[in-house]
A = this chain, B = another copy of it.
């Protein structure tokens, strides 16, 4: 398939510098971070960049300045590692929710506005879509262990957003929440297929319009 293969197996040139020779991805800054954490962080990054099927465990281990054996001692299989990265990603989403909550306590409208802003900013910065939705697209095998993680995250995300919409006092909070979710997922996948100049560029405006239509003027 194509030329681009990321998995450079056995790059061990020379027996001199055993130092981790600056493997592109600088995620865990090689400081005193446990190998397990380095692996998870690096895997998150590489799965995003190359897709889950597009990167091998060898390459992940090497980029994490460790080796395959250590990886397999922490995660019984690549699938396990995939699940763990999805869990970590979903925890990051939890952190964003918590941050919004603390910034605008007891102000559902402001929180909803902040949610749109935060996701819009995220869309500008990162060229890759929702890792979890991407995983769902990529992993078609039914009974893949990741599906449980994906489903769980999506249900929680939907519940949180629906609750937030309900707290704004709008009628049909479920419809509002689902509409916003469709816009978000659409923007993320569209950004991958068409870039920032594509339909994704109107994500924020579309959200504001939707909020207005539901009687929620942005703060």
Contacts and interface: CB of A to CB of B under 8 A. Distances in A.
Given A133-B189, A186-B185, A213-B209, A194 B154 contact: yes
Nearest to A195: B151
B205 A182 contact: no
A150 B194 CA distance: 8
Contacts of A54: 53, 140-141
A1 interface: yes
A51 B4 contact: no
Contact of A79 (B2, B144, B186, B187): B2
Contacts of A178: 198-199, 201-202, 206
A143 interface: yes
Question: DSSP majority for the A interface?
Answer: helix
Contact of A185 (B143, B179, B190): B190
Contacts of A136: 189, 192-193
A40 interface: no
| Top-10 shortest CB links A-B | A186-B186, A182-B186, A136-B193, A185-B186, A178-B199, A4-B141, A178-B202, A179-B206, A181-B199, A53-B53
